[in-house]
Structure 1
Amino acid sequence: MPARESAGLEAVGSVAVRTFAAHQSIDTARTRAVRHAATGADTDRFADYDDDLTGGQLYDPDAEYEPDPEYAATLAPDAARQRRERVGPTGRPLPYFPIPGPVSEHGPATIIAMCNQKGGVGKTTSTINLGAALAEYGRRVLLVDFDPQGALSVGLGVNPMELDITVYNLLMERGLAADEVLLKTAVPGMDLLPSNIDLSAAEVQLVSEVARESTLQRALKPLMQDYDYVIIDCQPSLGLLTVNALTAAHRVIVPLECEFFALRGVALLTETIEKVRERLNPELDLDGILATMYDSRTVHSREVLARVVEAFGEHVFHTVIGRTVRFPETTVAGEPITTYASNSVGAAAYRQLAREVLARCHAE
């Protein structure tokens, strides 16, 4: 791939991203122009990468390259080596994922299923914060709460028990428009299809339906032109609701807690993804495995992450989400970490994940 190499691009699986060294040589004036286009702010404020964040709204994309002590403790067993050799938490060279430019028009949407049959691995947290980070970069995002527990709705400050109309009604009632179910969130550019316990009845009722696996796909079809990304928060099972999400999706992100029991179920999930691809949705693709709740201070976390990288290679995201008390705090606050603690390590991680997801999508 000589053309990519000459442009300072490095192949990461099927993804071509600019390397850190190439990024350092980018013309400063061009960098300022891109940031000005994205933020509308005075470009003089971005003369140096070391400028402070202003009002919690601006983000230094190179913050990860010089991690603070908290970041170093949770993500890098040897922070000095990480800075010196540009080695990421996964043990691979950490590419530079550029800040995405603004988009002039929206749609059609790419649908991402956030899926893992094991509970408590960070699906809902990742759905909320990845969506918020993509919205921060100017993308229109729709979050679909497809779990009867309604955790995604709760995490965005919605009380599921007070809802009269949810995604369940959108699935089961003919003639109901998606606009009647949509809720606006506090994050500009990010909307929600909420859920509550009523959705548990859908799994039984859909059994007798014709083309029952495609019910969610048909419900989302009228919304495709209005959004850039639709992210579905799946329930922790491989039942009919999850199969519906996989049938509707273009990509799957698998959040994986860096813990041995979580690792055991990934093989079963990838087998299910393959079956859905062969029988129902040939467009479905495994976008990546996202390591969550990682703490390099424990040997167990490092061993699990190493095994995942060994087994799945470039399908493992370079971005790793570390443990931080900020995530449970945001659930109580009912907002994403990108707004609740904008300058935190967790917010920086999900912004990097958003850039990595965009880079992977644009590479195809």
Structure 2
Amino acid sequence: MIPMPARIIAVCNQKGGVGKTTLVTGLAEVYTQMMGKKVLVIDADPQYNTTSALGLSGPEFTLNDVLYGDESNNQKIFPGVAADAVLEVGEDWQSPNHSELGLIASERNLASRERDSMMAREHRLRIALKGVAEEYDIVLIDCPPSLGLLTVNALTAATHALLVSEPRVASVEGLAEIVTTIAEVQENLNEDIDIVGVVVNKVRKGRKDQDVWIEKIRTDFGELVLDPLLPDRELFAKAQAAAKPLKSFGSEAKVLRADLEQLARAIWKGSEA
């Protein structure tokens, strides 16, 4: 049986602080524990927040090692080498329905990969995932808040980009910048990548200043804006700090998990081949 190509979703915005880690971990929880999917999360941000949020600290083999390549062979990168870096997540994240959640972790030294100058440096993650991504139903890549080589690697490897924004000026400007980068990647490196949607995060009801930017995002992206808009809730930060999934917080997290499930299903449908 020939495995179906995975959905590889690069979660990105050029600006930081928009809640990408919260979204990635929340989607991973929904896909594995509520939808029974097999998920691989790749933490491509040197700040390693997703790695920490999924219950891991100081892993020995990370995405940095994968992208560095084989030191004994002129840093050559071999197809499928990413499989060697897949780690089990913390116990709290294990799914009761036996679907799997794997993680390729990050570390601060990953930032040094931004300065790589080897041949085909934009394709290293894509090569490393060859034959690996197909073992999963969906791969979620948490991109760094920049338009450097790590983000370009993620977009070159991805089938889709999921854009994340707060309803404020800096984040909306970041959306415009990442859209330009995606277009350049599509033209030069990965013609198959598409934008699967835009998630508006950290929304507070009754904030007229936010309403202006939400309307701007809807005007710019139309049907790509996914519903529901995610509310600004302290529980997201609380769960991330505790390195626990939202389910650990019982009824307090019921509405947030329902919102994330609705988004997860929309992304799943939008990324169908």
Q: Do Structure 1 and Structure 2 share a fold, with TM-score over 0.5?
A: yes
Residue matched to 2:68: 172
- Distance verdict in 2 for CA 1:138–1:272, change over 3 Å: same
The one-letter code matched in structure 2 to 1:180 is D
Residue matched to 1:277: 186
Matched, 1:354 2:264: yes
Is the Cα contact below 8 Å between 1:106 and 1:228 reproduced in 2? no
1:157, distance to aligned residue in structure 2 (A): 1.5
Residue matched to 2:147: 238
Is the Cα contact below 8 Å between 2:227 and 2:262 reproduced in 1? no
State the SS of the aligned residue for 1:331: helix
Matched, 1:196 2:101: no
Matched, 1:163 2:74: no
| Counterparts of 2:82 and 2:40, CA distance in 1 | 12
The one-letter code matched in structure 2 to 1:178 is A
Residue matched to 2:215: 306
Structure 2: gaps (5+ residues): 71-77
1:187, distance to aligned residue in structure 2 (A): 2.8
1:147, distance to aligned residue in structure 2 (A): 0.6
State the SS of the aligned residue for 1:138: coil
The structure with the largest alpha-carbon Rg is: 1
| Counterparts of 2:3 and 2:261, CA distance in 1 | 20
Residue matched to 2:50: 152
- Distance verdict in 2 for CA 1:315–1:271, change over 3 Å: same
Residue matched to 1:142: 40
| Counterparts of 1:316 and 1:293, CA distance in 2 | 15
Residue correspondences, number: 256
The one-letter code matched in structure 2 to 1:155 is A
State the SS of the aligned residue for 1:329: helix
Is the Cα contact below 8 Å between 2:13 and 2:171 reproduced in 1? no
Matched, 1:321 2:218: no
Structure 1: gaps (5+ residues): 1-104
- Distance verdict in 2 for CA 1:288–1:257, change over 3 Å: same
| Counterparts of 2:257 and 2:3, CA distance in 1 | 25
Is the Cα contact below 8 Å between 2:81 and 2:129 reproduced in 1? no
Alpha-carbon displacement from aligned partner over 1:3-40 (angstroms, at most 9, x marks no partner) = xxxxxxxxxxxxxxxxxxxxxxxxxxxxxxxxxxxxxx
TM score, norm. by length of structure 2: 0.88
1:292, distance to aligned residue in structure 2 (A): 0.1
1:339, distance to aligned residue in structure 2 (A): 4.2
The one-letter code matched in structure 2 to 1:167 is L
Is the Cα contact below 8 Å between 2:160 and 2:271 reproduced in 1? no
Matched, 1:187 2:187: no
Is the Cα contact below 8 Å between 1:107 and 1:224 reproduced in 2? no
Is the Cα contact below 8 Å between 1:260 and 1:304 reproduced in 2? yes
Is the Cα contact below 8 Å between 1:232 and 1:245 reproduced in 2? yes
The root-mean-square deviation of aligned C-alpha atoms, in Å, is: 1.9
Is the Cα contact below 8 Å between 1:291 and 1:320 reproduced in 2? yes
Of 225, 238, 241, 1:332 maps to 241
Residue matched to 1:4: none
Q: How does 1:6-85 map to 2 (within 5 A)?
A: none
TM score, norm. by length of structure 1: 0.67
Matched, 1:220 2:113: no
Task: Considering Cα pairs closer than 8 Å and 6+ residues apart, tell me whether 1 or 2 has the greater RCO.
Answer: 2
